[in-house]
Amino acid sequence: MVFFADPEDVRQILSSHTLLSKSKNYELVESWLGKGLLTSANEAWRRRRKLLTPAFHFRILSEYKEPIEENCKILISRLREKANGEQFDIYPYITLFALDSILETAMGIKKHAQMQSESEYVKAVETICRVMHKRSFSFWQRFAILYRFTDAYKESAEALKVLHGETNRVIKLRRQMLEETNIHNMSDAEKSEDIGGKRRLAFLDMLLIAQMEGGGLTDREIREEVDTFLFEGHDTTSSAIAFCIYLLSQDEHVQQRAYEEAMALQGREKESMRYLEAVIKETLRLYPSVPFYSRKVQEDLQIGKLTVPKGASVSTLAYMVHRDEKNFPNPEKFDPERFMVAEKDLHPFAFVAFSAGPRNCIGQKFAMLELKLVLSSLLRSYEFLPVKDFKPNPLAELVMKSGNGIQIRIRPRS
Ligand code: HEM
């Protein structure tokens, strides 16, 4: 495994149109995500990417704004019980918000996870990420035959039951809704104003309708995509929102400026929010939700001065790319000004939190919209205050999270 942190090397890896297969490590998540968009390769990946891209088109994203806003309101009201200046961990609140948001927008299902104090699904995601991460560092657990005799295997089998159970439930529910509203193809869907009580075609509807029309994915393939998007669509954003709140609590000037912008642009979060966008990017620079990602080398490959042999894997270590002194002087300092410069003044591969090139993050625009909506409504409602001596302990599991939660204090804005 070779890790790269120089933006020029990263440019070569990420812009390549041949270096598109993921490394062997990704096989560890296949019992969960199958061959979904994140893990698939070659023609299978190309076909799926083409089919799924329209679901994240700008026009469709605008329909996702309202359900995300509804979930922001629930989050704000759930946090009221904590708005007394006392220390607490905000992460569990955020992760349930993010889960509800992806379920409602992409899958068209209202789960109301936020109304419960914890979610079996979220707990199962935590378990599977922990077990798989540990397995990736264990030589002998790599052998499937030995792994089957471990406690970790039993634990992950239990978690998978919960995760796949939820996915099957979501698909069944949405299929029923389409049948009840007599939608059998795209043209029925375009005529219908009312799917599942309200509006809009969810990402899952597109997959189900494409299947009904005969050109889409099989049942198994649909389940793989729902698993992939539920995971990628909530765990990454939860981590980004939580780290951003922590960093805002550490710098009252940045927080004040972001608050003023959130007040001035209330209701217009889909448009450019220059400062908050810079705050989000600076958060993802310091705490990239996906700290590294890897590709398989199919032929000997020259990267910079190094020849990487066929069969090895090359990884983009975003966490270190983002700490390159040449592009980000004093790299540990949280300073959103770095992203207030014109894009052309920054090396195009200096910031790679969403990856880049043909296998970049398909959910990037969705993520930015969700982050802007939730952070601006939180800023308008609460002031974030630091907790003395607290520092997050980032763990590079599949998605980077803080091992000691995100301790924070909040106070209502007057
Ligand atoms: C702050 C939020 C997010 C960050 C930082 C992020 C980051 C990334 C990165 C770095 C990759 C490349 C991974 C690799 O090469 O192995 C990726 C891929 C992907 N992301 Fe995201 N992501 C975010 C949110 C989302 C959301 C909200 C969704 C879905 C709605 C999503 C869906 C995906 C999918 C399906 C892929 C695989 C794309 C492909 O291989 O064609 N992500 N993301």
- Determine the Cα–Cα distance for residues 193 and 365; give it in Å rounded to an integer: 25
Determine the structural domain holding residue 43 and report its residue range.
Answer: 2-412
**From first to last of its 414 residues, what are the pLDDT tens digits of the chain?**
999 999 999 999 999 999 999 998 899 899 999 999 999 998 999 999 998 888 887 667 788 888 999 999 999 999 999 999 999 999 999 999 999 999 998 888 887 777 776 788 888 988 998 898 888 888 888 888 999 999 999 999 999 999 999 999 999 999 998 888 888 887 887 777 655 444 567 889 888 988 888 878 899 999 999 999 999 999 999 999 999 999 999 999 999 999 999 999 998 888 889 999 999 999 999 999 999 999 999 999 999 889 999 999 999 999 999 999 999 999 999 999 999 988 788 999 999 999 999 999 999 999 999 999 999 999 999 999 999 999 999 998 889 999 999 999 999 997
- Closest atom of ligand 1 to CA, residue 229: 29
Tell me if 377 sits within 8 A of 63, measured CB to CB: no
Q: Binding site for heme: what residues are annotated?
A: 361
Q: How far is the CA of 284 from the centre of ligand 1 (A)?
A: 13
Q: How far apart are the first and last CA of the chain?
A: 53
- Closest atom of ligand 1 to CA, residue 26: 16
Q: Binding site: what residues are annotated?
A: 361
- Determine the Cα–Cα distance for residues 230 and 96; give it in Å rounded to an integer: 12
**Residue 168 is encoded by which pair of tokens?**
């099957």
Give the pLDDT of residue 396: 85
Q: How far is the CA of 182 from the centre of ligand 1 (A)?
A: 33
Give the pLDDT of residue 114: 78
Give the pLDDT of residue 100: 92
- Protein residue with least CA distance to atom 20, ligand 1: 361
Pocket of ligand 1 (CB under 6 A): 22, 37-38, 49, 106, 228-229, 232-233, 236-237, 240, 284, 289-290, 293, 353-355, 359, 361-363, 366-367
Give the pLDDT of residue 200: 65
CATH code of the domain containing 111:
1.10.630.10
Could you give the C-alpha distances from 363 to 124, 175, 261, 284, in angstroms and in order?
22, 23, 25, 15
- Closest atom of ligand 1 to CA, residue 371: 1
Give the pLDDT of residue 106: 87
Q: For the chain, what is the domain count?
A: 1
Give the pLDDT of residue 373: 96
Q: How far is the CA of 359 from the centre of ligand 1 (A)?
A: 9
Tell me if 371 sits within 8 A of 365, measured CB to CB: no
- Closest atom of ligand 1 to CA, residue 36: 35
The best mutation among 361, 373, 375 to test binding of ligand 1, ranked by most ligand atoms within 8 Å of the C-beta, falls on 361
